[in-house]
Structure 1
Amino acid sequence: MSKASMRRRWQQVDGVLLLDKPRGLSSNDALQKARRVFQAAKAGHTGTLDPLATGLLPVLFGEATKFSNLLLDSDKTYEATLQLGVTTTTGDAEGEVLDTRPVTVDEAAIRAVCARFIGPISQVPPMYSALKYEGKPLYEYARQGIHIERPAREITIHALDVRRVAGSQIDIVVHCSKGTYIRTLAADIGAALACGAHLTALRRTQSGGLDVADAYTLEGLLAIEESARSNVLRPVDSLLAHLPRIDLEPALATRFGHGQALRAPIDARGPVRVYGERFIGTGVIDEGGALRPQRLVSQIDTDAD
C-alpha cells in the first residue's frame, strides 16, 4: 500500500480512550498502536508511563487533545513494588546495578520510614527522565554519562500505604500530585532505610477521576468488531466532569463559540464547561463576572452529561 493511500485511511476521531498500557511498550508506542486501531488522524496521551510500567494511559483523539493539560495536572495513584538492598542507575529494574547492601530493617521500621514521605516533600527528578535541558531530554545526557544538576521540585504525597512486606520486597500504593516520580520515591525510601532500593514494578491505577478498571487492553480493542470500536470511546467533555456546567441559549452560545466574552449566567469564579445545543468548550469566569472562552472545540457530537 502506498504512503498516499495510508494517509487516506486516517480519519477524524474525537473522544477519550482509557488504555491499559502493557509492560514493555513506551507510552508513545502504545499511543501509536491505539491510534492505528481507530485510524485516528490526531492523538495524544496524558502523562508518560515508563516501558516498565503498566496501567492507565488516557489516550485523547482529535478535539479531546485540547484538554490534555487537565489530566497532566491531576493527581495520580500508583501500585509499586520496591526491591530493598539494591540501587540502580535508573532507579528501576531496567538500569545497571550500582550497589548492593544487606537489608536488616524490619516491617515496623519500613512502615515508619514510608510514613515520613506523606505530605509536601521536595524531590529531585531522575536523570533518566524526559525532562528537557537545553532542548534535549535528560535521559540522552544520562546515556552519554553526562550529569546535569536538577533543581528539586515540590510535590505532594497525599497517601502512601504499605500493602505488603515480604523479605526485602515492599508493595506500596501511592496517591500523589502531578510531577511525582515513583522511581525517585523508591530510591529515597531506600536511602532513608540505609539499604537502598529500586523499583521492580509499577502500575498506574487512577488519573484524575479516571480508573484503570474501566480501561481496555490493546488486545481487547482488537477483539471488538471494527464497526463497534467507537463505542468504547468516552466523549470529549468526559474529561471535564469536575467543572461547573453552564448552558447557554443559542444566540449566546454562538457568540461564545466565536470567542466573545459574556456576562456569566452563574455566580461562580474559575474554570467552567460550556454548552449550547452541545459541548462548546471551556471558559473562565473572572473576578468581574465575565465568562471568557478558554478552549473551544469544533462543533462535534458529544454525549453531554
Structure 2
Amino acid sequence: MARKKGRDINGWLIVDKPTGVTSTAVVAKVRWALDAKKAGHAGTLDPDATGVLAVALGEATKTVATITDALKCYDFTVNWGAETTTDDASGTVLRSSDSRPDATAINAALPKFSGEIMQVPPAFSAVKVDGERAYDLAREGEELELAARPLWVDSLLLIEAGTDTARFEMVCGKGGYVRSIARDLGRELGCLGHVAHLRRTWSGPFDATDGVAFEKIDRAEQEWLDGCLLPLETALVDLPQLRATPEGARRIRNGNPGEVTGTAEWGELVWVADADGPVCIGRYQGGVVQPERVFNL
C-alpha cells in the first residue's frame, strides 16, 4: 500500500473563513499549502458563513471530537418578513409577512430558545436521511420532514434591533443550526425570518481574532503558516491533564492501560502527557488511564 505523500505535521491552523467557500475547500487548501499528510476540521460552517474554522493536521485530527463537542459562539443577523427554502438569504422565498417585531417582543421570545431545546435542522443541511445527505435530497425537490434534535443553547442575546432586522449572539453546543433558530424565532414572533449574515466568533479555545485569512493560505507562505500553527494540546484545555509515568507512557503507547500521576473522576475523559508531550486521550480508572486515542508524535 502506497504511503500518503506530504509532511508529518501536527497541530491546528485556525482559519477566518470568508463567504462563498466551503469548509471542505478550506481544509483542502490548508493541506495543500502546508503539504500535510492528513487534515480535517472541527465543525462545518455554511458556505455563506464566516469566522472560525479550526483545521486539524496530522495527529491533531484525533482531538477533533473535543472541539466538536465544545461550546461555540455565533454573531448573526436575521431578516424579518420572509422564510426561505434554505433558511438563509441564498434560498427562494417560501412565505412572507408584513409583520415586524420590536425589541420587547423579541426579548420576550428568547427564553424559549435557551437551555435544552429541540431543534429541527434545515432541509438544506448535512443531516443524513436513509444514508443520504438532506441537502442532496432537498436539491432534487424532495420534501423532507427531519426529526427534531436536542440542542443546548447556553445563551441567546439580542444585540441590536432594527425595523426589518435584528442582530443576535448565541452560544450553543454541538449540532446547532443558527438558520433553524432564525426560522423558528420568526415563526414564534409571527413575522417569519431567515439568516442574513452569520459569523462564528469562537469555537472552544479557538477565536476568530487568531484566524489566518483565507487568501494568505498559499505554498509560498508555508514557513509563515508553520509559525501560525497551534499545538495539538490546545484542543484539550477543557479536559483534565494527567502525567504518565515512564512505564505508563510505554504501555499506553502500545494501546494498554498505563499508570499516571494525578487524579480525576473514575471513568472521566482525560488527556495524558509525559516529558515528550501528549501521549493519549483516555478514561481514568483509579491510577491508570485506558487509552482511547494514542498520539504517535
User: Into which bin does the TM-score normalised by the smaller protein fall?
Assistant: over 0.9
1:284 pairs with 2:280: no
Secondary structure of the residue aligned to 2:225 is helix
- Partner residue of 1:256? 252
- Partner residue of 1:88? 84
- Partner residue of 2:97? 101
Q: How far apart are 1:117 and its partner, in Å?
A: 1.4
Secondary structure of the residue aligned to 2:191 is coil
Q: Give the AA of the match of 2:46.
A: D
Q: Contact conserved, 1:101 with 1:195, CA < 8 A, in 2?
A: yes
Q: How does 1:1-305 map to 2 (within 5 A)?
A: 10-222=6-218, 225-269=221-265, 270-278=268-276, 279-286=278-285, 288-299=286-297
Q: How many residues align?
A: 292
Structure 1 Cα separation of the partners of residues 238 and 65 of structure 2: 14
Q: Deviations over 1:76-132 (max 9, x none)?
A: 110000000011011001100112210243221122112331221111111110111
Q: Deviations over 1:19-70 (max 9, x none)?
A: 1111000110111112211111211011110011000000001111111111
Q: How far apart are 1:223 and its partner, in Å?
A: 9.8
Q: Give the AA of the match of 2:291.
A: P
Structure 2 Cα separation of the partners of residues 46 and 293 of structure 1: 21
Q: Scaled by the length of structure 2, what TM-score is found?
A: 0.93
Secondary structure of the residue aligned to 1:95 is coil
| Unaligned runs of at least 5 residues, structure 1 | 300-305
Structure 2 Cα separation of the partners of residues 77 and 130 of structure 1: 20
Q: Scaled by the length of structure 1, what TM-score is found?
A: 0.90
Aligned-pair Cα RMSD in Å? 1.8
| Aligned-residue identity in percent | 36
Structure 2 Cα separation of the partners of residues 184 and 296 of structure 1: 37
| Unaligned runs of at least 5 residues, structure 2 | none
Q: Give the AA of the match of 1:234.
A: L
1:38/1:105 Cα in 2 relative to 1: closer, same or farther (>3 Å)?
same
Q: How far apart are 1:229 and its partner, in Å?
A: 2.1
Structure 1 Cα separation of the partners of residues 131 and 241 of structure 2: 39
Structure 2 Cα separation of the partners of residues 134 and 11 of structure 1: 38
Secondary structure of the residue aligned to 1:184 is helix
Structure 2 Cα separation of the partners of residues 291 and 107 of structure 1: 51
Structure 2 Cα separation of the partners of residues 33 and 45 of structure 1: 12
Q: Contact conserved, 2:31 with 2:39, CA < 8 A, in 1?
A: yes
Q: Deviations over 1:131-180 (max 9, x none)?
A: 11122101111111112332211112111111111111000000111111
Structure 2 Cα separation of the partners of residues 245 and 267 of structure 1: 9
Q: Contact conserved, 2:243 with 2:260, CA < 8 A, in 1?
A: no
- Partner residue of 1:302? none
Q: Contact conserved, 2:100 with 2:163, CA < 8 A, in 1?
A: no
Q: Give the AA of the match of 2:284.
A: I
Structure 1 Cα separation of the partners of residues 295 and 236 of structure 2: 13
Q: Contact conserved, 2:244 with 2:260, CA < 8 A, in 1?
A: no
